[in-house]
C-alpha cells in the first residue's frame, strides 16, 4: 500500500492544475492510463472563454452561458466560474502558457480573442488552433519540474476504495483506489483521504466521436459504483463539425472556423442555417448539430460542408495551421475547397454531481473537469467554457480539500485479490461488446431520440452488463476489460437519464416530447446507485 496526501486520477488541465497546487503542501499521486500528456485537454482546439476585453463583461458572459444552458444551469456556479476566470488565466500564463496576441495600431499588442457559437462577444483566448495541446504541454512541463508529484503512467484506475466496502460503520468515505499497472499486470493499492477524479468524459461510448480513445467514462463509472450521485447524463453534446473522410479518425474542425466566418452548405452548395436559427452558423451547438442531422436525413447526404474559402488564404493558413495541414494531407485545401463534416459525440455536460468546491456526495472524493457536473453547462455547454471550468474548479477543489487539514485516519487497505481469475482467452468478446455498445448508442441514443429507441437500448445494455460483469469476475483485469466495464455503465446512465426526462431541452431532443416542460423538468436529473 502506497500512501499519499492526495490522489489525482487524470492528467488533463484539471488534474494537472490540482496536482501542481497540492504539491506545495503535500505528496501527490498522479495516475494516468496512458502517457502524462495524453488527455482530452490535448485534443481541444478552440480555446478558453474568458472575459478579458473592455468591450466584454461578466454579465454578458453569464447571460450567454445561461441562455445556452436552456434553463438547467446553476446561476451561482455560472457567476462564480465566469468571475474567477481571469485569475485562473493569469495563473495559467504564469505557469508558462502563451496565447496568441495581435498588434494594435499604437504599436503595442494585445491578446487575440476569437469568437465561437453562442458568444455575444469575442472572448476566446487561443494558441492558433491547438490551444488544448499548448495548455497540456505547459502544465506537463511544470509537473515534471515539481517535486512531490509521483506520476503513475500507464496505470488504469480500477475502483474506489470506500469505508463502506471495507465494512466500517462510519460515514461512507473514499479512502483510496486500486489501479492496474498495465506493464506488469499487477493491481496496486493507493491510500489517501483526498481522491480527485479528473478523468474527462465518455465520448468513446459512441461510434463516432471527436474524443481520444482514452475517453471511456472511467471516473464516472467508478464514482457511480462507489455510491456517488450523478446528474444530467442525458445531455451529451455532439459537435456539429467533425471531419468526414475515410482516412480521418475523430478529427475535429474547430468551432472557431465558424466563428471566423465559415458557412455551412448542403451537397448542392446552398446555405441552410438561416432556416434553423437567426444566428445561423453561430447558433449554439445543439441547434447546429440538429440542423446538420436534419439536412443529412432530408437529402440523404452522408455529410454537409463547411466553407471558409472566401476568406484570405494567408489568414486561413495562419489562424488554422493544424486544421489546414491535416486536411491538406487528405487532399482537401481548405483555402479553396469546402470541408466535408458531420456531427460527432464531443462532450458530456452531466457527470458526478459536485458543489461549488468540486466535492461530491461521497466524503473524501472530489471531481473536476468534464467528469463533474457543477451546474455550469446545464442542458448544453457554451463553446470553450470547459477549459475555464477545469482551471477554476481545480483551484477551488484544492483550496477546499486543503482547508483545515487533519492527520489522516489510519487504514490498512486490503491488497487486490485476483482469486482464481485466469487470463482472458478470447479478446474478440471484449472487442465485439465494445463495438456493439458504441453502435447501439449511436443508433438509439444519438442527436434525435425516441422512447422506443431508448427502451431498446436499455434492454440490450442490461444484457450486455450481465455478460461483461461475468467476464470481469472470471478473468484477470486488463485495460481493455476495465474500459469495457466502464463504457457499459456510463451508457446505461445516459439511457436511464434520457428516459427520465420526458421533454426536449438543450442536447436532449426526443420526437415523443417535442415541447419543453418547465413545470416538471426545470431541474437536474439525478441518479444514485442503491
- pLDDT tens digits along 415-453: 998 766 667 667 788 889 999 999 999 999 999 999 999
**pLDDT at 18 exceeding the cut of 80:** yes
Pick from 123, 144, 126: which is nearest to 135 by CA?
A: 126
Q: How sure is the predictor about 458, in pLDDT bands with cuts at 50, 70 and 90?
A: very high
**pLDDT at 409 exceeding the cut of 90:** no
Alpha-carbon gap, residue 67 to 76, rounded angstroms: 15
Q: Annotated catalytic sites, by residue? A: 285
Q: Which three cell numbers stand for residue 49?
A: 472563454
pLDDT of residue 107: 83
CA dihedral 327, 331, 332, 337 (to 10 degrees): 170
Alpha-carbon gap, residue 476 to 462, rounded angstroms: 22
Alpha-carbon gap, residue 428 to 418, rounded angstroms: 22
- The fraction of the chain above a pLDDT of 90, given in percent, is 88
Domains and CATH numbers, the chain: 1-44+129-235+349-415 (3.50.50.60), 240-343 (3.90.700.10), 427-524 (1.20.58.100)
* CA-only gyration radius of the chain, Å: 22
Is the overall model pTM greater than 0.75, yes or no?
yes
Amino acid at each position: 500500500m502506497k500512501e499519499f496526501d492526495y490522489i489525482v486520477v487524470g492528467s488533463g488541465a484539471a488534474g494537472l492544475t490540482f496536482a501542481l497546487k497540492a504539491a506545495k503542501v503535500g505528496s501527490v499521486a498522479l495516475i494516468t492510463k496512458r502517457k502524462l500528456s495524453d488527455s482530452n485537454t490535448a485534443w481541444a482546439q478552440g480555446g478558453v472563454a474568458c472575459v478579458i476585453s473592455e468591450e466584454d463583461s461578466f454579465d454578458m458572459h453569464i447571460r450567454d452561458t445561461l441562455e445556452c444552458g436552456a434553463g438547467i444551469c446553476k446561476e451561482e456556479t455560472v457567476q462564480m466560474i465566469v468571475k474567477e476566470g481571469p485569475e485562473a488565466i493569469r495563473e495559467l500564463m504564469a505557469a508558462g502558457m502563451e496565447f496568441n496576441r495581435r498588434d494594435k495600431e499604437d504599436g503595442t499588442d494585445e491578446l487575440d480573442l476569437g469568437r465561437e457559437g453562442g458568444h455575444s462577444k469575442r472572448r476566446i483566448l487561443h494558441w492558433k488552433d491547438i490551444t488544448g495541446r499548448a495548455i497540456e504541454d505547459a502544465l506537463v512541463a511544470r509537473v515534471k519540474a515539481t517535486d512531490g508529484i509521483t506520476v503513475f503512467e500507464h496505470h488504469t484506475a480500477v475502483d474506489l476504495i470506500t469505508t463502506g466496502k471495507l465494512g466500517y460503520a462510519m460515514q461512507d468515505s473514499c479512502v483510496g483506489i486500486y489501479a492496474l499497472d498495465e506493464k506488469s499486470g499487477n493491481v496496486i493499492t493507493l491510500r489517501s483521504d483526498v481522491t480527485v477524479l479528473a478523468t474527462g468524459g465518455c465520448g468513446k461510448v459512441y461510434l463516432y466521436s471527436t474524443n481520444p480513445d482514452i475517453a471511456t467514462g472511467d471516473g464516472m463509472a467508478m464514482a457511480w459504483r462507489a455510491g456517488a450521485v450523478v446528474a444530467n447524463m442525458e445531455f451529451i453534446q455532439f459537435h456539429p463539425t467533425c471531419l468526414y473522410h475515410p482516412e480521418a479518425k475523430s478529427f475535429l474542425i474547430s468551432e472557431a472556423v465558424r466563428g471566423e466566418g465559415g458557412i455551412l452548405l448542403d451537397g448542392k452548395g446552398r446555405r441552410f442555417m438561416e432556416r434553423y436559427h437567426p444566428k445561423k452558423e453561430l447558433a449554439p451547438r445543439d441547434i447546429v448539430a440538429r440542423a446538420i442531422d436534419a439536412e443529412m436525413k432530408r437529402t440523404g447526404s452522408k455529410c454537409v460542408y463547411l466553407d471558409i474559402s472566401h476568406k484570405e488564404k494567408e489568414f486561413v493558413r495562419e489562424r488554422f495551421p493544424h486544421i489546414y495541414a491535416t486536411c491538406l494531407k487528405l487532399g482537401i485545401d481548405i483555402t479553396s475547397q469546402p470541408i466535408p463534416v458531420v456531427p460527432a459525440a464531443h462532450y458530456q455536460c452531466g457527470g458526478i454531481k459536485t458543489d461549488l468546491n468540486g466535492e461530491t456526495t461521497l466524503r473524501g472524493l472530489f471531481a473536476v473537469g468534464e467528469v463533474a457536473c457543477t451546474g455550469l453547462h446545464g442542458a448544453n455547454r457554451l463553446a470553450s467554457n470547459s477549459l475555464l471550468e477545469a482551471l477554476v474548479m481545480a483551484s477551488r477543489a484544492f483550496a477546499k480539500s486543503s482547508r483545515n487539514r487533519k492527520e489522516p485516519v489510519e487504514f490498512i487497505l486490503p491488497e487486490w485479490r485476483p482469486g482464481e481469475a485466469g487470463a482472458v482467452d478470447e479478446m474478440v468478446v471484449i472487442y465485439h461488446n465494445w463495438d456493439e455498445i458504441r453502435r447501439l448508442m449511436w443508433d438509439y441514443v444519438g442527436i434525435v431520440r425516441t422512447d422506443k429507441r431508448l427502451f431498446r437500448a436499455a434492454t440490450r445494455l442490461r444484457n450486455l452488463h450481465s455478460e461483461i460483469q461475468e467476464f470481469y469476475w472470471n478473468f484477470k483485469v486488463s485495460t481493455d476489460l476495465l474500459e469495457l466495464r466502464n463504457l457499459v455503465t456510463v451508457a446505461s446512465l445516459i439511457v436511464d437519464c434520457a428516459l427520465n426526462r420526458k421533454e426536449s431541452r438543450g442536447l436532449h431532443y426526443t420526437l415523443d416530447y417535442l415541447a419543453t416542460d418547465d413545470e416538471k423538468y426545470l431541474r437536474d436529473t439525478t441518479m444514485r446507485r442503491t
